[in-house]
Amino acid sequence: MENTFTIMPMSQQVNLTPGETYTGTITIVNPVDATQDFHYKMSISPYSVIGQDYTADLKTVTGRNEITNWITIEEPTGVVKPNESKKIQYTIKTPSNAAAGGQYAAITVSSNNDTVQSGGVAVNNVFEMASLIYANVSGDIVREGNILENNIPGFVAVPPIEVSALLENKGNIHESATVVLNVTNFFTGEVIFPKSEDNNEFNELVMPETTYLATRNITNLPSLGVVKVKQTIYFNGKSSVEERDVIICPIWFLLLVIACIAGIVGFIVMRIKKHKKKNDLSSM
């Protein structure tokens, strides 16, 4: 029988100083509804991203994930009982000659497949979870980034509306971008988003020497109508504001409108032709 587990936090931002040691913790939680002890094992993987959509890469070794050689886990294997949690300490020993800027790793937790019940039946789940380490090594930090695009579509057939921001980080450290969204009804001015319980500010982490396409879907919209969408982006000391009226119109409704217009135009043409023919006959 498979168990589930969680880890906290899912990501950490840490500041490192060359020649010094940093100590952190990761918590493994075996939930209350688990039926078996969770036998875990932990490992360290390099972390980087591929493409503008930031597909995670836990295999490729680069100069930005040398930190994998600096991390030591205090208790890389162990057991967590149901409805209990366990804090695992790790240390990062930063070399004195470590280059300034970002360093990235993933500390992964998975079931220990070598641990089985006496009857030979495995009781651990096989999937793994990762806590991402975003480290900033002090020194000559370069911060250089740009907002390349701030996109809002002018027409969608079916909600949601997808907005996007193309962000370029040319520095040597990860940077945080903030995207603020506001949506109102074009005709009435009613606020559609955010409602009182919504958060309309979203933070995006942009890795060094990459371009990131951050996308977000706006939901809870009318299936037909016009809304005013405003997206404001703050990144690396720069800002960009884009505001656009977005038409939401299902294809079937658009085809119906076109058919109606075509019918009206056809009717007018027929009336004109009939009237012209009548005039021609009366002039004979």
What are the tens digits of pLDDT across the range 24-81? 999 999 987 777 888 999 999 999 999 999 999 999 999 999 999 999 999 999 999 9
How many Å apart are CA 231 and CA 164, to the nearest integer?
9
Q: What share of the chain is helix, strand, coil (3-state, %, to 5)?
A: 15, 50, 40
Residue 102: CB atoms within 10 A of its CB come to 22
Query: What are the backbone dihedrals phi and psi of residue 97, each rounded to the nearest 5 degrees, phi first?
Result: -105, 20
Extract the tokens encoding 137. 């090594």
- Per-residue confidence (pLDDT) for residue 121, from 0 to 100: 47
How many Å apart are CA 224 and CA 158, to the nearest integer?
8
- Per-residue confidence (pLDDT) for residue 282, from 0 to 100: 63
- 242 in helix, strand or coil? strand
Cβ–Cβ under 8 Å, residues 124 and 111: yes
In what helix (H) or strand (E) does residue 269 lie, and over which residues does it extend? Answer: helix 251-282
pLDDT at 1 exceeding the cut of 50? no
Q: How confident is the model at residue 271 (pLDDT cuts 50, 70, 90)?
A: confident
Q: How confident is the model at residue 283 (pLDDT cuts 50, 70, 90)?
A: low
Extract the tokens encoding 174. 């990860």
Residues 94-126 have pLDDT tens digits of 999 999 999 999 999 998 876 544 444 444 445
Hunting for tokens 């004195």 — which residue is that? 96
- Assigned CATH topology for domain 6-137: Immunoglobulin-like (2.60.40)
**b (16+ CB within 10 A) / e for 31-42:** eeebebbbbbbb
- Assigned CATH topology for domain 145-248: Immunoglobulin-like (2.60.40)
- Per-residue confidence (pLDDT) for residue 123, from 0 to 100: 47
- Per-residue confidence (pLDDT) for residue 171, from 0 to 100: 97
* Bridge partner list, 93: 21
Q: Which of 235, 218, 236 is nearest to 227 (CA)?
A: 218
- Per-residue confidence (pLDDT) for residue 35, from 0 to 100: 78
What is the Rg, in whole angstroms, of the alpha carbon atoms belonging to the chain? Answer: 29
Sketch the domain layout of the chain as residue ranges: 6-137, 145-248
Residues 166-187 have pLDDT tens digits of 999 999 999 999 999 999 999 9
Cβ–Cβ under 8 Å, residues 111 and 125: yes
* Mean pLDDT of all residues belonging to the chain: 90
